[in-house]
Amino acid sequence: MTATVGPDQISQNAVVSASSVFYFLLLPALALFYAYWKISRRHLLELASKIPGPEGYPIIGNALDFVGSSHDIFKKMYSRSFEFGKIAKFWAGPKLLIFLIDPRDVEIILSSHVHIDKASEYKFFKPWLGDGLLISTGQKWRAHRKLIAPTFHLNVLKSFIDLFNANSREVVQKLKKEAGKEFDCHDYMSEATVEILLETAMGVSKKTQDKSGYDYALAVMKMCDILHIRHTKIWLRPDILFNLTKHATNQKGLLNTIHSLTRKVIKKKRADFEKGIRGSTAEVPEDAKTQKYEKNVSSKTVVEGLSYGQSAGLKDDLDVDDDVGEKKRMAFLDLLIEASQNGVVINDEEIKEQVDTIMFEGHDTTAAGSSFFLSMMGVHQDIQDRVIQEIDEIFGDSDRPATFADTLEMKYLERCLMETLRLYPPVPIIARQLKQDVKLASGDYTLPSGATIIIGTFKIHRDADTYPNPEKFDPDNFLPERTANRHYYSFIPFSAGPRSCVGRKYAMLKLKILLSTILRNYRVKSNLGEEDFKLQADIILKRAEGFKIKLEPRKPLLKA
Ligand code: HEM
The CA-to-CA distance between both ends of the chain, in Å, stands at 103
Pocket of ligand 1, candidates 151, 501, 502, 511: which has the most ligand atoms within 8 Å of its Cβ, to mutate?
Answer: 501
Ligand 1: residue whose CA is nearest its atom 2: 366
Using the predicted structure, report yes or no on whether residue 325 has a pLDDT greater than 60. Answer: no
Please give the sequence-ordered ranges of beta strands (E in DSSP) within 351-498, or none if there are none.
430-433, 438-439, 446-447, 452-455
The predicted-structure confidence for 113-126, as pLDDT tens digits, reads as follows: 999 999 888 899 99
Q: Is 309 in the pocket of ligand 1 (CB under 6 A)?
A: no
Could you tell me the pLDDT band of residue 5, with boundaries at 50, 70 and 90? low
Q: Is 501 in the pocket of ligand 1 (CB under 6 A)?
A: yes
pLDDT for 181 equals: 95
Pocket of ligand 1, candidates 224, 318, 361, 455: which has the most ligand atoms within 8 Å of its Cβ, to mutate?
Answer: 361
Cα distance between residue 560 and residue 173, in whole Å: 6
Q: What is the mean pLDDT of residues 350-359?
A: 94
The predicted-structure confidence for 446-474, as pLDDT tens digits, reads as follows: 999 999 999 999 999 999 999 999 999 99
Per the annotation, does 185 bind a ligand? no
Could you tell me the pLDDT band of residue 557, with boundaries at 50, 70 and 90? low
Ligand 1: residue whose CA is nearest its atom 27: 362
Using the predicted structure, report yes or no on whether residue 2 has a pLDDT greater than 50. Answer: no
With 0-12 / 13-18 / 19 or more C-beta atoms within 10 angstroms meaning exposed / middle / buried, residue 475 is buried
User: 367 C-alpha vs ligand 1 centroid, how far in Å?
Assistant: 13
Q: Is 193 in the pocket of ligand 1 (CB under 6 A)?
A: no
Q: Residue 245 carries which side chain, given as an amino acid letter? A: T
User: 496 C-alpha vs ligand 1 centroid, how far in Å?
Assistant: 10
Using the predicted structure, report yes or no on whether residue 560 has a pLDDT greater than 60. Answer: no
The predicted-structure confidence for 327-349, as pLDDT tens digits, reads as follows: 567 899 999 999 888 767 788 89
Please, what sign has the CA dihedral across residues 102, 103, 104, 109? positive
What are the two backbone dihedrals, phi and then psi, of residue 470, each rounded to the nearest 5 degrees? -65, -25
Q: Is 109 in the pocket of ligand 1 (CB under 6 A)?
A: no
Higher-confidence residue of 311 and 237: namely 237
Ligand 1: residue whose CA is nearest its atom 15: 430
Q: Is 401 in the pocket of ligand 1 (CB under 6 A)?
A: no
Q: Is 548 in the pocket of ligand 1 (CB under 6 A)?
A: no
Q: pLDDT exceeding 90 applies to what percent of the chain?
A: 64
Cα distance between residue 358 and residue 366, in whole Å: 12
Using the predicted structure, report yes or no on whether residue 298 has a pLDDT greater than 70. Answer: no
With 0-12 / 13-18 / 19 or more C-beta atoms within 10 angstroms meaning exposed / middle / buried, residue 21 is exposed
Could you tell me the pLDDT band of residue 212, with boundaries at 50, 70 and 90? low
Pick the most confident of 120-124, 215-219, 292-296, 434-438: 434-438
Higher-confidence residue of 130 and 342: namely 130
Select from 118, 179, 302 the least CA-distant residue to 553.
179
Could you tell me the pLDDT band of residue 558, with boundaries at 50, 70 and 90? low
* pTM (2 d.p.): 0.91
Higher-confidence residue of 424 and 94: namely 424
Q: In the chain, how long is the greatest CA-to-CA distance?
A: 115
Q: Is 354 in the pocket of ligand 1 (CB under 6 A)?
A: no
Q: Is 503 in the pocket of ligand 1 (CB under 6 A)?
A: yes
User: 87 C-alpha vs ligand 1 centroid, how far in Å?
Assistant: 25
User: 161 C-alpha vs ligand 1 centroid, how far in Å?
Assistant: 20
Higher-confidence residue of 475 and 84: namely 475
Query: What is the distance, to the nearest Å, from the Cα of residue 264 to the centroid of all Cα atoms in its chain?
Result: 24
Cα distance between residue 134 and residue 279, in whole Å: 25
User: 487 C-alpha vs ligand 1 centroid, how far in Å?
Assistant: 21
Ligand 1: residue whose CA is nearest its atom 23: 365
Average pLDDT, the chain: 89
Contact 40, 29 (CB under 8 A): no
Q: Is 453 in the pocket of ligand 1 (CB under 6 A)?
A: no
Conformational region of residue 273, where left means phi above 0, alpha means psi within -120 to 50, and beta covers everything else: alpha
User: 509 C-alpha vs ligand 1 centroid, how far in Å?
Assistant: 14
Could you tell me the pLDDT band of residue 198, with boundaries at 50, 70 and 90? very high
User: 530 C-alpha vs ligand 1 centroid, how far in Å?
Assistant: 26
Q: What is the mean pLDDT of residues 153-179?
A: 94
The predicted-structure confidence for 213-228, as pLDDT tens digits, reads as follows: 678 888 988 998 899 8
pLDDT for 1 equals: 44
User: 494 C-alpha vs ligand 1 centroid, how far in Å?
Assistant: 6
Strand bridging mode 446-447 / 452-455: unpaired
Using the predicted structure, report yes or no on whether residue 152 has a pLDDT greater than 60. Answer: yes
Contact 455, 106 (CB under 8 A): yes
Q: Is 308 in the pocket of ligand 1 (CB under 6 A)?
A: no
Q: What is the mean pLDDT of residues 485-505?
A: 94
- Burial pattern 46-83, b for ≥16 Cβ within 10 A else e, equals ebbeebebeebeeeebbbebbeeebbebbeebbebbee
Q: Is 133 in the pocket of ligand 1 (CB under 6 A)?
A: yes
